[in-house]
Amino acid sequence: MKAWESNIRKVTPYVPGEQPRQSNVIKLNTNENPYPPSPEVAKALRAMTTGTMRKYPAPDAQPLVGEIASFYHLKPEQVFAGVGSDDVLAMCFLTFFNSDRPILFPDITYSFYDVWAELFRIPYERIPLDEAFRIRPQDYFRENGGVIFPNPNAPTGELLAPGTVEEIVSHNRDVIVIADEAYIDFGGESVLDLTDRYDNLLVVQTFSKSRSMAGMRIGYAMGNRELIAYLNDVKYSFNSYTMNEAALTLGTAAVRDRAYFEETTARIIRTREEAKKRLAELGFLVGDSKANFLFVTHRTCPAKEIFETLKKAGIYVRYWDKPRISNYLRITVGTDEEMERLYAFLETFLAAHAACD
């Protein structure tokens, strides 16, 4: 080892889903929305001029923060915006998780959580999900340095009811609890209303899924103004201008088009529910996902074999070679046409696989 290497901060990085470069693939591996953003976004983009790039963007992320606040009936000082929910969540870890006690999150969950904990040297503990891959609220009724979990959870898609989330929050009043609601718009009920009663609860959402803007990188946190002020203090100490002018302008346009948002999320929900039935008919065990993806395992064919065969055919899904989930696949809900091609391929492949057994 070189002498200077002893001072390098070494972490095992988060591994994102594969981003294939070819255009003729069906991409169902990174939970992107299969539909384009609101037409209002395209209109706002055409109206932008290069002159806006000459100046720094608004450090308080206006007018986007104001539009988000209006959408959720909040005050602007109750909203924090960042470069995707990953940026927002990283700021949350840095701001709120500074105890000697471990923070708690599920053992099967968004795999960035332990990366941030390692990066910021935060003690943590992974709490096992039950046999049905559900969070047991009572497992979080103990001393800790903070709690975070996605709802619906990822990659399982399992949803906690607001009352169950409240149980966790009410048993952890001396620490910050973060509900990561990246997928809440696809069939869940947000716990945002609980922030009126619990000053230690922060709700995080994103434009990447339900608003079709993963490429624009917009995320936000909502809670009481004190928590948001603390987040802004850390942000301004790190990078005052985190969000570019295009993100602020186009994100604002997206929020204003409520009708399009509701239409596309409803389409994805319909396709997801149909996919549950179709995949079950093909021999998959399918969880009751309330997200824009399904978490499945086949009764006879190994997940890794299905994953590799699909990839060769230009159909990308997500696979993790990890304990407890090494025989599961996560399949993003695509358009109806994309899903039909998936079903057709699986039907042929699985029939051939059965014939070889």
Amino acid at 286: V
Identify the CATH class of 19-36+259-356.
alpha beta
CATH number 3.40.640.10 is the correct assignment for the domain at 39-256: yes
Amino acid at 135: I
Domain ranges of the chain: 19-36+259-356, 39-256
What's the pLDDT at 231? 97
Note the Cα 318 to chain centre separation in Å: 14
> CA angle at residue 260 from 259 to 262, to 5 degrees?
65
**pLDDT tens for each residue of 88-106:** 999 999 999 999 999 999 9
User: DSSP assignment, residue 109?
Assistant: S
Quote the tokens at residue 275.
């996919």
Tell me the β-bridge partners of 27.
316
Three state DSSP letters for 17-77: CCCCCCCCCEECCCCCCCCCCCHHHHHHHHHCCHHHHHCCCCCCCCCHHHHHHHHCCCCHH
What's the pLDDT at 355? 66
What's the pLDDT at 357? 62
- Report whether 13 contacts 115 (CB < 8 A): yes
- CB count within 10 Å of CB 188 equals 18
**124: phi then psi, degrees, rounded to nearest 5:** -150, 160
CA gap 8, 288 in Å, rounded: 43
Note the Cα 328 to chain centre separation in Å: 19
Q: Please tell me the pTM assigned to this model.
A: 0.96
355: enclosing H helix or E strand:
helix 336-356
Extract the residue ranges of the chain whose pLDDT is less than 50.
none
Quote the tokens at residue 140.
């979080």
CB within 8 A of 326, min separation 6: which ones?
303, 304, 320
- Report whether 319 contacts 329 (CB < 8 A): yes
- Report whether 181 contacts 210 (CB < 8 A): no
- Report whether 90 contacts 70 (CB < 8 A): no
**pLDDT tens for each residue of 1-39:** 788 988 898 889 998 899 998 888 999 999 999 999 999
